[in-house]
Chain A
Amino acid sequence: DTAVSQTPKYLVTQMGNDKSIKCEQNLGHDTMYWYKQDSKKFLKIMFSYNNKELIINETVPNRFSPKSPDKAHLNLHINSLELGDSAVYFCASSQSLQLSGNTIYFGEGSWLTVV
């Protein structure tokens, strides 16, 4: 059983398109995240949600819109894709917002290429 699963794993699309990446966790966690990994492998948080409530929104363009229909799902929708959006997007979850002593579990990543 995959704890944090995200789809699709690979996505190639043209500039200007709109695309979504879906994420689900079966760990019973309250908190979910989206991280972006750039071409230099640098990881940076984009969003976090706790029980469907937006907690962190890290200066991400408003073309990126997360949606959490329930606490087990956090989807990422991207409008008007740009070349610079090409990256690996990681979904993650943790038991709660309080990370001291807790662990964040990551999905396998979604490789987005914008051409």
Chain B
Amino acid sequence: GNSVTQMEGPVTLSEEAFLTINCTYTATGYPSLFWYVQYPGEGLQLLLKATKADDKGSNKGFEATYRKETTSFHLEKGSVQVSDSAVYFCALTPGSARQLTFGSGTQLTVLP
């Protein structure tokens, strides 16, 4: 079956620290991979995506590279800000599937 495993949180960082949130997946076929972000009290927003191996998705200083050989899609940011505090979800959709499968979410708190 299809599944997404994210590193467990919560993650607490100081402002300007480097961020990595690990995400690995199991899927049939060639999935598309996504990172969604949920700010406190708000809905889900698409942060970035990658649709094929070696693609790099990027947005708002965040990056993630689709690594087929390690079945991973780790989220990184070089210098986090307090405003990045949110829950981050890794997700996938295999080519044949008709839904997104989400990871369990990682709570990030950035302290000033």
Contact = CB atoms under 8 A, between A and B. Distances in A.
Q: Which of B31, B46, B99 has the most CB of A within 10 A?
A: B99
Q: Top 5 nearest A-B pairs by Cβ distance?
A: A108-B43, A106-B44, A99-B93, A41-B105, A43-B102
Given A41-B87, A41-B105, A99 B44 contact: no
B5 interface: no
A103 B43 CA distance: 15
A99 B97 CA distance: 7
B110 to A, nearest CB: 18
Contacts, number: 60
B32 A55 contact: no
Contacts of B99: 33, 45, 48, 56, 99
Interface of A: 31, 33, 40-45, 48, 55-56, 90, 92, 97-109
Interface in B71-112: 87, 89, 93-95, 97-100, 102, 104-105, 107
Nearest to B95: A100
Q: Which of B51, B93, B94, B107 has the most CB of A within 10 A?
A: B93
B104 A99 contact: no
Contacts of A107: 43
Interface in B30-58: 30-32, 34, 36, 38, 42-46, 49, 51
